[in-house]
Amino acid sequence: MKTIVLYYSRTRKTAHVAKTLAEEIQADTTEVMDLKNRMGVINYLGSSLDALRENKTIINPDTYDLSEYGLIYIGTPTWAAKPAPAIITMIDKCDLKGKDVILFSTMGSSGGLKAVERMKEKVEARGGRMVNSFSIKTGGKAIEDINNETKKISEEMDLKIYGI
Protein backbone atom coordinates (compact mmCIF):
# COMPACT_ATOMS: atom_id res chain seq x y z
CA MET A 1 0.00 0.00 0.00
CA LYS A 2 1.45 3.36 -1.06
CA THR A 3 1.31 6.38 1.21
CA ILE A 4 1.16 10.08 0.34
CA VAL A 5 1.40 13.25 2.42
CA LEU A 6 -0.71 16.11 1.04
CA TYR A 7 -0.15 19.49 2.66
CA TYR A 8 -0.46 23.24 2.37
CA SER A 9 2.06 25.58 3.96
CA ARG A 10 2.12 29.38 4.01
CA THR A 11 5.13 29.94 6.28
CA ARG A 12 6.87 26.63 5.38
CA LYS A 13 6.48 25.21 8.90
CA THR A 14 3.78 22.76 7.81
CA ALA A 15 6.00 21.89 4.83
CA HIS A 16 8.83 20.95 7.21
CA VAL A 17 6.48 18.73 9.21
CA ALA A 18 5.16 17.10 6.02
CA LYS A 19 8.59 16.46 4.51
CA THR A 20 10.09 15.15 7.76
CA LEU A 21 7.07 12.92 8.22
CA ALA A 22 7.33 11.63 4.63
CA GLU A 23 10.98 10.71 5.20
CA GLU A 24 10.11 8.90 8.42
CA ILE A 25 7.29 6.84 6.91
CA GLN A 26 8.65 6.48 3.35
CA ALA A 27 5.79 8.38 1.67
CA ASP A 28 5.32 10.48 -1.44
CA THR A 29 4.50 14.16 -0.95
CA THR A 30 2.41 16.69 -2.83
CA GLU A 31 2.17 20.32 -1.83
CA VAL A 32 -1.20 21.96 -2.38
CA MET A 33 -0.53 25.44 -3.71
CA ASP A 34 -3.02 28.24 -3.01
CA LEU A 35 -3.00 30.62 -5.96
CA LYS A 36 -4.32 33.48 -3.80
CA ASN A 37 -1.62 35.67 -2.23
CA ARG A 38 -1.68 34.83 1.49
CA MET A 39 1.58 36.56 2.49
CA GLY A 40 1.82 39.71 4.59
CA VAL A 41 -0.22 40.92 7.53
CA ILE A 42 -3.24 42.21 5.58
CA ASN A 43 -3.44 39.10 3.39
CA TYR A 44 -3.07 36.88 6.46
CA LEU A 45 -5.99 38.60 8.18
CA GLY A 46 -8.10 38.04 5.06
CA SER A 47 -6.88 34.43 4.95
CA SER A 48 -8.02 33.86 8.54
CA LEU A 49 -11.43 35.21 7.58
CA ASP A 50 -11.49 32.90 4.53
CA ALA A 51 -10.65 29.96 6.81
CA LEU A 52 -13.31 30.91 9.35
CA ARG A 53 -15.94 31.13 6.59
CA GLU A 54 -14.53 28.04 4.83
CA ASN A 55 -14.25 29.98 1.58
CA LYS A 56 -12.93 27.95 -1.33
CA THR A 57 -9.82 29.02 -3.22
CA ILE A 58 -8.09 28.18 -6.48
CA ILE A 59 -5.45 25.50 -5.92
CA ASN A 60 -2.71 23.80 -7.90
CA PRO A 61 -2.81 20.98 -8.68
CA ASP A 62 -6.52 21.30 -9.37
CA THR A 63 -7.26 17.56 -9.18
CA TYR A 64 -5.81 14.66 -7.21
CA ASP A 65 -5.66 11.04 -8.37
CA LEU A 66 -5.26 9.07 -5.17
CA SER A 67 -6.21 5.69 -6.65
CA GLU A 68 -2.76 4.17 -6.04
CA TYR A 69 -2.65 5.26 -2.39
CA GLY A 70 -4.19 3.35 0.49
CA LEU A 71 -3.04 5.74 3.20
CA ILE A 72 -3.27 9.51 2.90
CA TYR A 73 -1.86 12.08 5.32
CA ILE A 74 -3.36 15.57 5.07
CA GLY A 75 -1.65 18.48 6.79
CA THR A 76 -2.69 22.07 7.31
CA PRO A 77 -1.71 25.16 9.25
CA THR A 78 -4.39 26.28 11.71
CA TRP A 79 -6.05 29.61 10.96
CA ALA A 80 -8.83 30.81 13.28
CA ALA A 81 -9.10 27.22 14.63
CA LYS A 82 -9.87 26.03 11.06
CA PRO A 83 -7.93 24.33 8.27
CA ALA A 84 -6.46 26.56 5.56
CA PRO A 85 -8.81 27.22 2.60
CA ALA A 86 -6.48 25.33 0.24
CA ILE A 87 -6.90 22.14 2.30
CA ILE A 88 -10.69 22.47 2.54
CA THR A 89 -10.79 22.98 -1.25
CA MET A 90 -8.45 20.02 -1.85
CA ILE A 91 -10.43 17.63 0.38
CA ASP A 92 -13.65 18.61 -1.42
CA LYS A 93 -12.02 17.66 -4.75
CA CYS A 94 -10.78 14.22 -3.64
CA ASP A 95 -12.38 10.81 -3.88
CA LEU A 96 -11.51 9.35 -0.49
CA LYS A 97 -13.84 6.32 -0.62
CA GLY A 98 -12.20 3.43 1.21
CA LYS A 99 -9.07 5.46 2.05
CA ASP A 100 -7.44 5.53 5.48
CA VAL A 101 -6.50 9.08 6.39
CA ILE A 102 -4.21 10.52 9.04
CA LEU A 103 -4.73 14.23 9.66
CA PHE A 104 -2.31 16.72 11.13
CA SER A 105 -2.23 20.40 11.86
CA THR A 106 0.39 22.91 12.82
CA MET A 107 -0.47 25.88 14.99
CA GLY A 108 1.12 28.97 16.37
CA SER A 109 -0.50 28.56 19.76
CA SER A 110 -3.89 26.83 19.75
CA GLY A 111 -6.84 25.58 17.70
CA GLY A 112 -5.10 22.62 16.06
CA LEU A 113 -7.49 20.00 17.41
CA LYS A 114 -10.50 21.96 16.13
CA ALA A 115 -8.88 22.18 12.68
CA VAL A 116 -8.32 18.41 12.70
CA GLU A 117 -11.93 17.80 13.77
CA ARG A 118 -13.22 19.90 10.87
CA MET A 119 -10.97 18.05 8.41
CA LYS A 120 -12.26 14.76 9.82
CA GLU A 121 -15.84 15.81 9.07
CA LYS A 122 -14.89 16.74 5.50
CA VAL A 123 -12.88 13.53 4.95
CA GLU A 124 -15.71 11.32 6.22
CA ALA A 125 -18.19 13.14 3.96
CA ARG A 126 -15.94 12.18 1.01
CA GLY A 127 -15.88 8.50 2.04
CA GLY A 128 -12.56 8.43 3.91
CA ARG A 129 -11.84 7.08 7.37
CA MET A 130 -9.65 9.00 9.81
CA VAL A 131 -7.43 6.45 11.53
CA ASN A 132 -5.24 8.85 13.51
CA SER A 133 -4.34 12.51 13.93
CA PHE A 134 -1.92 14.87 15.63
CA SER A 135 -1.15 18.56 16.07
CA ILE A 136 2.21 20.26 16.44
CA LYS A 137 2.71 23.65 18.05
CA THR A 138 5.19 25.49 15.82
CA GLY A 139 4.91 29.06 17.13
CA GLY A 140 8.28 30.46 18.13
CA LYS A 141 10.12 27.22 17.35
CA ALA A 142 13.18 26.78 15.18
CA ILE A 143 12.86 24.51 12.14
CA GLU A 144 15.23 21.96 13.69
CA ASP A 145 12.98 21.75 16.77
CA ILE A 146 9.89 21.31 14.58
CA ASN A 147 11.60 18.53 12.62
CA ASN A 148 12.70 16.79 15.83
CA GLU A 149 9.21 17.02 17.31
CA THR A 150 7.77 15.54 14.09
CA LYS A 151 10.18 12.60 14.33
CA LYS A 152 9.27 12.13 17.99
CA ILE A 153 5.54 12.09 17.22
CA SER A 154 6.07 9.65 14.36
CA GLU A 155 7.94 7.32 16.69
CA GLU A 156 5.61 7.68 19.69
CA MET A 157 2.49 7.15 17.56
CA ASP A 158 4.22 4.35 15.62
CA LEU A 159 3.04 5.92 12.36
CA LYS A 160 5.16 3.54 10.25
CA ILE A 161 2.82 0.69 11.12
CA TYR A 162 -0.08 2.28 9.19
CA GLY A 163 1.67 1.97 5.84
CA ILE A 164 2.32 -1.75 6.12
> Residue 49's pLDDT is what?
67
> Residue 48's pLDDT is what?
78
pLDDT band at 55 (very low <50, low <70, confident <90, very high): confident
pLDDT tens readout for residues 122-140: 999 999 999 999 999 999 9
pLDDT band at 93 (very low <50, low <70, confident <90, very high): very high
Q: Tell me the pTM.
A: 0.93
pLDDT tens readout for residues 35-49: 888 887 777 777 776
Beta strands in 35-164 (DSSP E): 59-60, 69-79, 82-83, 100-107, 129-137
Domains of the chain are 2-163 (3.40.50.360)
The answer to whether residues 136 and 110 touch, using CB atoms and an 8 Å cutoff, is no
